[in-house]
Amino acid sequence: MSDDSREKSTPSFSALKPRTRLNRAGLSTRVDGGRAVNPPLVRASTILFDDLAQLADVRRRRGDERLLSYGARGNPTAYALEDVISELEGGYRTRLLPTGLAAITQTLVACLRPGDHVLVSDAVYEPVRHFARQFFERFAIDYSFFAADGQGVEALLRPQTRLIYAESPGSLAYEIADLPALARLAHARGILLAADNTWGAGYLYQPLALGADIVVSAPTKYLSGHSDVVMGAVTTTRDAWEPINRSLDAHGMTVSPDDAWLILRGSRTLAARLPLHAAGALRVAQWLQRQAAVARVFHPALPDDAGHALWRRDFSGSNGLLSFALKDPAESAAARLVDALRLFGIGASWGGFESLSMLADMRQARTVADWSRHPHLIRLHIGLEDPDDLIADLEQAMGGQGTEDRGQKTVQ
């Protein structure tokens, strides 16, 4: 907020013509009295300065400091959300982007240059593979995928390796990588370590504390929690901040204050929502493990999950995601089950209050690991409904009775 004593003096209102008074009345002013709990939603393109000296001063300092200077370089509502995410991730500062995918791709653009080599987790959010094919190849950046559990990374390192890009738990099958071990390998060689923390939502997992330099995430998911907004975030250590911040400024990356406001609102109940998602998902996962038609259930909180020991070591909890494979490996069997569900919507994304189902083709989603035994996974997001109702729905869908009214379905 500007200091009143420095505000540009304006002629008295009564001296102005009606058109000018209409133009100037009700602009941003300080309100006397108490204050609201939440930060205001501030919509702004133009930011006003008291004089040219102040404008010049802000422009000189805004590359390093977070100063309000122009709507395309951020707004106070977004700053408030940046602070929430920096606090959650334990980072130096945060920048917001229009989508989670943009947070990932803009981080890669900021960190890499022609001739560099980057190692990407085989468990990466699938659209990152499409970006790698399009962007890395066009800009002469070499890339290879490493095993989702992080094994064998040392043998893949090259003198040109600039960045290791991790995602743990992995998308769709929740493989866990030993992030501290990856950090040791990277830092011994001056390589940057970036991690996608969308699964952990900044609350269940702290990649920066475990050695990552950069954390990217999609607040679209749990931080929002309401399936009504998309956003990305990148949070870094002090050392990794400058080049990413500069690159994002150069690309004109910011978010609308309305979207930031929605995510701020969602963030206030994250701690209340996550345990309900987690308890529901664990119950559904354990129930699925007992079903004759189910071959395997993927969820790191299950004691027999491949990543369970590392999950217990590095995470403070789990969330509403789980996947499973049927004994019948045909895509049609999995598709029949998903189509027969009545309480689970069919749709991409997750982290909202409602339950969702999706089919995943793991032969496309992984290139290092061989998924020919379980090529088709059913991915569920367990929402805040009563798990008894969700289990009853899965039971009827598995019984092949999915011919009744299915109600509303979410379609991407």
Ligand X SMILES: *Cc1c(COP(=O)(O)O)cnc(C)c1O
Binding site for ligand X (CB under 6 A): 99-101, 125, 167, 171, 196, 198, 218, 220-221, 230, 232, 349
Comparing C-alpha atoms, which of 216, 167, 221 is closest to residue 356? 221
CB-nearer residue toward ligand X: 167 or 314: 167
CB-nearer residue toward ligand X: 167 or 175: 167
The structure tokens listed for 108 are 């890669």
Question: At closest approach, how far in Å is the CB of 412 from ligand X?
Answer: 11
CB-nearer residue toward ligand X: 103 or 334: 103
Q: Indicate the angle between helix axes 238-250 and 100-111, nearest 10 degrees.
A: 100
Question: At closest approach, how far in Å is the CB of 374 from ligand X?
Answer: 20
Quick one: 194 exposed, middle or buried, by C-beta within 10 A (0-12, 13-18, 19+)? buried
The structure tokens listed for 360 are 């995943």
CB-nearer residue toward ligand X: 89 or 196: 196
The secondary element (H helix, E strand) that includes residue 180 is helix 179-187
Question: At closest approach, how far in Å is the CB of 222 from ligand X?
Answer: 10
Question: At closest approach, how far in Å is the CB of 149 from ligand X?
Answer: 17
CB-nearer residue toward ligand X: 68 or 195: 195
φ, ψ of residue 23 to 5 degrees: the values are -65, -30
CB-nearer residue toward ligand X: 97 or 157: 97
Quick one: 317 exposed, middle or buried, by C-beta within 10 A (0-12, 13-18, 19+)? middle
Question: At closest approach, how far in Å is the CB of 299 from ligand X?
Answer: 15
Dihedral angle over CA of 7, 11, 13, 19, nearest 10: -100
CB-nearer residue toward ligand X: 261 or 398: 261
Comparing C-alpha atoms, which of 82, 100, 78 is closest to residue 91? 82
Residue type, 361: D
Closest chain position to ligand X (CB): 100
User: Which residues are 192's β-sheet partners?
Assistant: 163
CB-nearer residue toward ligand X: 224 or 393: 224
CB-nearer residue toward ligand X: 77 or 106: 106
Question: At closest approach, how far in Å is the CB of 393 from ligand X?
Answer: 23
Q: What is the DSSP string of 95-142?
A: EEESSHHHHHHHHHHHH--TT-EEEEETTS-THHHHHIIIIIHHTT-E
Dihedral angle over CA of 62, 65, 70, 76, nearest 10: -170
- Residue 315: partners with Cβ closer than 8 Å, 6 or more residues away: 200, 204, 205, 300
Question: At closest approach, how far in Å is the CB of 86 from ligand X?
Answer: 19
Question: At closest approach, how far in Å is the CB of 196 from ligand X?
Answer: 5
Question: At closest approach, how far in Å is the CB of 320 from ligand X?
Answer: 12
Phi-psi bin for 297: left (phi > 0), alpha (psi -120 to 50), beta?
beta
Strand order in the sheet with 321-326: 294-298, 321-326, 376-381, 356-361, 345-346
